[in-house]
Structure 1
């Protein structure tokens, strides 16, 4: 049976995550993501996703050491990045830099080690090109900082506040993995040919670059910027509904109820209430917008999706729109790597058929 875009077609069996759209549940290795997000750090959740178990203290220390190893880019990667024109996008710089990791020495490492090193390297690649675009000096990694703290440090050159770190880390943990999405599928297809992890991650980054996959939070940011103040929420939303415009940040192709990631991001924003005006605006706007959508579009069940609060968090830490998709990738590289490892262990090349609909002469 032909399904355009393979919609609804089961292509793999996976033990990594369960995305239950009907009941609004997301599980990593069978564990409700809420349990992981509330109780564990980025590093611990990443380890869990890659290994299907939480680390011991020794295992976490070893994981962190390997993650920090990735913060120091090989000299040839630095040279390639220095040669890139600053006019190319950050996503293109990421794709190019990650592809150059495929040296004989790197590929001799165990694939799990490769995954951890690339996870540690990606924030460095992003911050390096971002600051190059702005004409600013490179900020070296700080090994006293966690993964999330270090990313914000390298981007801005200032020590991030605890509010900024908590907000961003919650987002990163919630977006590490989400089933067989477009970029994850691209990674699995690439490695199914017996290619390597850097090639698979390069494919995934190229896929993530597309606005239909990785660009939604920037559209929500435009909405929040337009609202600006809680007194304007009803005016802005009713105008959009009247004009037939889509209200960004509401509705999801998979979830038929509330997106569990948006619930947890909302809870994070509520915990931080009063610490940032953009987080406060988001929580107030969400409640009013849902009421307006229910009033003007009854029965549609347009719940908040993860992009709504992602945009609020990005805005609260002064992260420009150009960094939204790269930051999404900082989280999702963990999921890509987990799927690549699973694909290697259960090897079968993807070879779907096409149906010819052209002329016959």
Structure 2
């Protein structure tokens, strides 16, 4: 196919066929507004009609979607129900992932978390970027988080801190790019400051990694361990449309302010299949270290019908590139040797039954175990890191049509009209 003066050709000498919205809707068997829903999901492309009235659609593209919908209807799926969102942020393919076209793993190794975040937000490299928060924001977050029960986990504190910081910001409803980026650069250090301090020597460091260390570990940080934590933050900044990221985009689509969008992500991240997965892997490694072998631990997990945490990823048939990078850095930390050996034992033992590679949750668990951190520390690292990615997705969504993240329900209940219940 090629572009000509009068439009693209659909074959040798055949001009491209364009359909009106009404024609596309009739061919698809849907309402006209559903056609635009397909466009918002990235399943159809549209072009302004001559004169600027309405839109036109590629007939071949519409016919292909109609064929897919007919196949889906035979399997009980709602036609076009798979949500697809166009994004310029993260690409995952061939066991690698990229931030704005740049290898994300290499970016995280060579640049600080703050620099990776700025790259994802703006597409420009801000050397030496630092994030600071005003005292009013930190004070509000402190008072709210400190009012929680003593046993409260880090993600609970982060959620409360985000709400408190929002209330302290009268400009939170400004959704312009500059305002949202300003919010991001103050919210991230505010979230870190809301976590209870463990090591005073690291509470007021220049970098987010330095400050976060002082709230996760009582041990002094070495250059290698601090670099590993900083790289982990950079590796976890974004990962396409994970469940929490989708929640953020739904909130942003409804024009919730940035704090509220981040709160939506924090509300989802706590699930055991998402942000809390590293905590499960942490406990697994601790048990392997206590027992001296992975075999009995794995056997007990399988006997209980539980999946082994820290293994496999649906987006990586091979090795998780985030795990590969983090494991390599952990090899440079002598204190990490026992936890690394335990992780290798888990992978080798499980490989007798299924060939699953270690994922980033297992690598993050090695970091938290070897650096004297609690099982919940990995979740805190994940949440702080991903906040930057959520901001990037919120910014993208603010530039789209509002309320587009509204899939249609496929009703399977009783047919109307039923009598009123007595």
Question: TM-score normalized by structure 1?
Answer: 0.82
CA deviation after TM superposition for structure 1 residue 143, in Å: 4.6
- Which protein, 1 or 2, shows the higher relative CO under an 8 Å CA cutoff with sep ≥ 6? 1
Question: TM-score normalized by structure 2?
Answer: 0.71
CA deviation after TM superposition for structure 1 residue 330, in Å: 0.9
CA deviation after TM superposition for structure 1 residue 158, in Å: 6.5
Which residue number in structure 2 is paired with residue 271 of structure 1? 332
Is the CA contact 1:249–1:306 (under 8 Å) kept in the aligned structure 2? yes
Distance change (3 Å), C-alpha of 1:90 and 1:142: closer
CA deviation after TM superposition for structure 1 residue 310, in Å: 0.5
Distance change (3 Å), C-alpha of 1:99 and 1:247: same
Is 1:296 the counterpart of 2:348? The answer is no
Any idea what the Cα deviations from partners look like across 1:168-219, whole Å, max 9, x if unmatched? 1121111111010011111110010111100100111011122222111121
Pick the aligned partner of 1:168 from 229, 232, 243: 229
Which residue number in structure 1 is paired with residue 45 of structure 2? none
Which residue number in structure 2 is paired with residue 92 of structure 1? 156
Any idea what the Cα deviations from partners look like across 1:224-269, whole Å, max 9, x if unmatched? 1121179523454456557765332111122111111111111111
Which residue number in structure 1 is paired with residue 18 of structure 2? none
Is 1:50 the counterpart of 2:105? The answer is no
Q: Partners in 2 of 1:228 and 1:218 — Cα distance?
A: 15
Which residue number in structure 2 is paired with residue 112 of structure 1? 181
Q: Partners in 1 of 2:276 and 2:170 — Cα distance?
A: 34
Is the CA contact 1:71–1:120 (under 8 Å) kept in the aligned structure 2? no
Is 1:73 the counterpart of 2:137? The answer is yes
Is the CA contact 1:16–1:29 (under 8 Å) kept in the aligned structure 2? yes
Q: Partners in 2 of 1:25 and 1:218 — Cα distance?
A: 24
> SS of the counterpart of 1:178?
coil
Is the CA contact 2:278–2:362 (under 8 Å) kept in the aligned structure 1? yes
After alignment, is 310-319 or 223-232 more displaced?
A: 223-232
Gaps spanning 5+ residues in structure 2: where? Answer: 1-71
CA deviation after TM superposition for structure 1 residue 146, in Å: 1.7
Is 1:183 the counterpart of 2:244? The answer is yes
Is the CA contact 2:155–2:383 (under 8 Å) kept in the aligned structure 1? no
Q: Partners in 2 of 1:323 and 1:293 — Cα distance?
A: 25
Which residue number in structure 2 is paired with residue 354 of structure 1? 409
Is the CA contact 1:68–1:143 (under 8 Å) kept in the aligned structure 2? no
Which residue number in structure 2 is paired with residue 35 of structure 1? 106
Task: Quote the RMSD (CA, aligned, Å).
Answer: 3.0
Is the CA contact 1:290–1:302 (under 8 Å) kept in the aligned structure 2? yes
Is the CA contact 2:145–2:161 (under 8 Å) kept in the aligned structure 1? yes
Which residue number in structure 2 is paired with residue 14 of structure 1? 87
Is 1:324 the counterpart of 2:378? The answer is yes
1:201-220 equivalences under 5 Å are 201-220=262-281
Is the CA contact 2:203–2:212 (under 8 Å) kept in the aligned structure 1? no
After alignment, is 255-264 or 220-229 more displaced?
A: 220-229
Is 1:284 the counterpart of 2:317? The answer is no
Gaps spanning 5+ residues in structure 1: where? Answer: 132-137
Q: Partners in 2 of 1:305 and 1:286 — Cα distance?
A: 11
CA deviation after TM superposition for structure 1 residue 74, in Å: 4.7
Pick the aligned partner of 2:255 from 173, 194, 197: 194
More strand by share: 2
Number of aligned positions between the proteins: 337
Which has the greater radius of gyration? Answer: 2
> SS of the counterpart of 1:188?
helix
